[in-house]
Structure 1
Amino acid sequence: MMNASPPFAADPDRVVFDRSELGLILSVYGRFVAAGEWRDYAMSFLRDAAIFSVFRRATEHPLYRIEKRPKLRNAQGIYAVIGMDGRILKRGHDLGQVLRVLERKLIRPVDD
């Protein structure tokens, strides 16, 4: 009999977000959903990156990608927020700091 791994076993060949990282990301995501800005998300766990993509509608290209790339730990930083056009909006070592670039987009001036 072969030794089969359980379906939720960690795959050492994949980069994933840990529970605290997902908590930070989902907190920002929830605020945008409540504001009616975002409606869907997708997660990809690849060999070199974990990617959380956010969408206005499920049929569109992602508005933003939040990426974790461990190989960049000693360079620009492990986390990045990337816009729809592929521009890196913020990169760094602290996920909370990197996500702040999105929160600025949620704050809008109130018209009188």
Structure 2
Amino acid sequence: MSTPVGGTVLSFPGARPNQIGFARDELMRILDLYGRMVAAGEWRDYAMDFDRDAASFAAFRRAAERPQARVEKRPSLRNKQGMWTLFGEHGQVLKRGHELGGVLAPLERRLVKAIED
């Protein structure tokens, strides 16, 4: 296998990535919320899924249950309803948006209520 000229690897123009992922700042924001929900006793486990069309982060009360909340990033919806979606425990769409902070807002409010109780 030969090394590219100049040591730089370039992607093929027009090629789609094999999977969608979270940027570092996006993942840090999600994991920060997850950590605070764990500290509040609301969540105990999480799972991440990365495929060709979307990346998702699911948070669980218990590992054997369905996720209590799932955040999905789907870049193909960027110019339509927003690439971020928050799903509830039964798969219902709780919030859609163009920015992660706005989509996580309902979970942030739930965290405030959990701490006040």
Where does residue 90 of structure 2 map in the other structure? 85
Letter in 2 for 1:71: S
Counterpart-to-counterpart distance in 1, 2:38 and 2:113: 15
Q: Residue 72 of structure 1: which of 55, 71, 77 is its match?
A: 77
Where does residue 102 of structure 1 map in the other structure? 107
Consecutive unaligned residues in structure 2, runs of 5 or more: 2-15
Question: Percentage identity across aligned positions?
Answer: 59
Q: Residue 44 of structure 2: which of 24, 39, 44 is its match?
A: 39
Using the size of structure 2 for normalisation, the TM-score is 0.82
RMSD between aligned residues: 2.0
Where does residue 14 of structure 1 map in the other structure? 19
Counterpart-to-counterpart distance in 2, 1:86 and 1:58: 17
Consecutive unaligned residues in structure 1, runs of 5 or more: 2-10
Where does residue 8 of structure 1 map in the other structure? none
Give the deviation of 1:37 after TM superposition: 0.5
Letter in 2 for 1:37: E
Using the size of structure 1 for normalisation, the TM-score is 0.85
Counterpart-to-counterpart distance in 2, 1:86 and 1:57: 17
Counterpart-to-counterpart distance in 1, 2:40 and 2:112: 10
Q: Which has the larger radius of gyration?
A: 2
Counterpart-to-counterpart distance in 1, 2:79 and 2:113: 35
